[in-house]
Structure 1
Amino acid sequence: MRALEPDDWQVYREIRLAMLADSPEAFASRYEDVVRRDETEWRRVLTDCDHFLAEQDGATVGGAGLVEHEGELNLIGMYVVPDHRGGPAATLLVAAVADRA
């Protein structure tokens, strides 16, 4: 589990596109729009709010974010790759967001 920084934009791009391709109905963004973002936009996303990455054996297995909106903190963009659902990744992502909040 780790917090992402703007220099992690490529790994975040990879998991974000996986989220949108796998479960498009679960997110407000559309794959077709997000895939066109350039490096500057990806870095901005990682600057505007906190994002966390779950990894196992060097592979990305999930991600989640924390955003403030109108004075409330919200978990956003929660996703775990299908092969790791039911394992500890989701719990660890929620805990990382809660700890940061």
Structure 2
Amino acid sequence: MAYTVRRTTADEWRDFRELRLAALLDSPTNYGQTHEQALAMTDEQWQERARTNATSTEQAFYVAVDDATGRLVGMWSAAPHFNRPGSWIVLGVFVRPEARGTDVARRLNQAVIDFARTTDAKELVLLVRDDNERGRRFYEREGFTLTGFAQPHNLDPSHDLVEMRYEDFR
């Protein structure tokens, strides 16, 4: 299959909502929001989120689109770190099962890295759940390394989120 990786558009808010809800069902403890919390969001909230994702110079939200069907099959974003000035953080990472094992994740990751490099960020980091071996191996192949920092997962405090830094960022 062929996929196009690009920034999302504001008009795709319904597709974005569907993809986000699918991600929360597929991996309910990999995000900072529950499926129920996302379901409770209004259409206006989804529309605002999609507008911000599409147009902000302060964050970037990329999607992978199946060229044959037009279906969104992956998402990846980056934004300024919540509490570390000068750092950016990768967020909202998801690839649908049917697109896993393709180059979608690598291409989405690279698009976000490229965008983050256009900012004044001094580093790019991410948090991955301590038991997500597949995710951690992917990030290691892509040039991220463990920093030694970890924090309890807000949805499942029995697990930590471990930090990884993209070493070739600057």
Runs (5+) with no aligned partner, structure 1 = none
Q: Which has the larger radius of gyration?
A: 2
- What is the TM-score with the length of structure 1 in the denominator? 0.89
Query: What is the deviation of 1:96?
Result: 1.0
SS at match of 1:24: coil
CA distance in 1, matches of 2:13, 2:94: 17
Residue 90 of structure 2 corresponds to which residue in structure 1?
75
Residue 98 of structure 1 corresponds to which residue in structure 2?
113
In the TM superposition, 1:23-34 aligns within 5 A as 23-34=27-38
CA distance in 2, matches of 1:59, 1:44: 21
Residue 17 of structure 1 corresponds to which residue in structure 2?
21
CA distance in 2, matches of 1:44, 1:60: 19
Residue 88 of structure 1 corresponds to which residue in structure 2?
103
Higher alpha-carbon deviation: 44-53 or 60-69? 44-53
Identity of aligned residues (%): 32
SS at match of 2:111: helix
Paired amino acid for 1:11: D
CA distance in 2, matches of 1:39, 1:72: 31
SS at match of 1:79: strand
Query: What is the deviation of 1:84?
Result: 1.4
CA distance in 2, matches of 1:55, 1:21: 20
Runs (5+) with no aligned partner, structure 2 = 54-58, 117-170
Residue 45 of structure 2 corresponds to which residue in structure 1?
41
Corresponding position: 1:50 with 2:36: no
Cα RMSD (Å):
1.4
CA distance in 1, matches of 2:90, 2:44: 23
SS at match of 2:40: coil
Paired amino acid for 1:63: M
1:37-60 deviations in Å (ceiling 9; x for gaps) = 112211332316321110122222
Query: What is the deviation of 1:10?
Result: 1.0
CA distance in 2, matches of 1:5, 1:73: 22
Give the number of equivalent residue pairs.
101
CA distance in 1, matches of 2:9, 2:78: 13
Higher alpha-carbon deviation: 28-37 or 1-10? 1-10
